[in-house]
Amino acid sequence: MPTRRDFLASSTAALAAASIPPHPQPAVQRAASRRARPTVIASSNGLRGVTLAYDQIIAGADTLDAIIAGVNIQELDPDDQSVGLGGLPNKDGVVQLDASCMHGPTKRAGAVGCLEDIATPSLVAKAIMDYTDHIMLVGDDARRFAIEMGFTPQNLLTEKTRQDWLRWRARLNAGDAYLDYDGDVDIKFTTGTINMNAVNSAGDLSSVTTTSGMGWKVPGRVGDSPIIGAGQYCDNSVGAAGSTGRGEANIKVCGGFLTVEFMRQGLAPQAACLKTLERVVAMTESRLLDERGRPTFNLEFYAVHKDGRYGAAALYSGSEFAVCDARGPRIEKSAFLYET
């Protein structure tokens, strides 16, 4: 028979346990306990990339390795003049590249800015993440680091891009010493980039953004792509997001970070992208607004949630994005704030 001392001790313990209210499991932890839908989302120039990345993720590859392999397709494509080899140069005719990446499971990141002569800045950003205690390297020192890590330098200015640069330079002003090209010439101007974000079935996330930046930019200009929290951001407990378009506008709102934070607050990926764009409009200076108070540039965000939901939104209608999941690779229409 239990003694009175035993009874009192057990009763006291039971009472103490009953008085402690159950601690609710945070929503992100509940989501993490469920299996996610493997999903890869990217800007519209990433259709081939999301296909490759998704296949690698399904085969067991790390999410960051997979999406970097995906963006490498565009970096090495000389016909994509917004990234890597063949990217539009700065005003001096020099191709300068930017990139950054984040790895959700390890909470690590890497970035590179104003990199010359190396076609795959996304891989250089990952090398900085993997092999140094730093996050960002820039300019000549970034180039030297890349070569020390085994990257092969090459001329990134293709003949096609060089001709476009010559046409742009010849039309700077009528009184310069350069002869104008005959006929109507479409002078290219791009803020194009490729951003890619992914989640696997375990809910592990990664993000990467890579670009040659704004065409004909001032030498040394760095946009949002290599800035952690702007061009891309990844939080393994919530989701990942990134952008393409006018980087200067995105830097001011830390758009990648802000989109992930909106998802943390419970917004779906598409709604989070739209909410970030509203903040972009609010932070746009008057000289970049039209007579109706709308930005004179475009900017697009892409986001994937930890559970596999995804979405994208742009300032203006007509934008598209690439996505790949169990339904296969495809191009979808982005949500938008304004009709064009």
Residues designated as active site: 193
126 phi-psi bin (left φ>0, alpha ψ -120 to 50, beta other)? alpha
- Name residue, tokens 């010849």: 170
Polymer length in residues for the chain: 340
Strand partners, 137: 112
Neighbouring CB atoms inside 10 A of 297's CB total 15
Structure tokens given for 249: 């506008």
Backbone angles phi, psi at 319, to 5 degrees: -80, 155
- What is d(CA 241, CA 281) in angstroms, rounded to the nearest whole number? 19
- What is d(CA 51, CA 235) in angstroms, rounded to the nearest whole number? 23
Burial string for 205-217 (b: 16+ CB within 10 Å, else e) reads: bbbbbbbbbbbbb
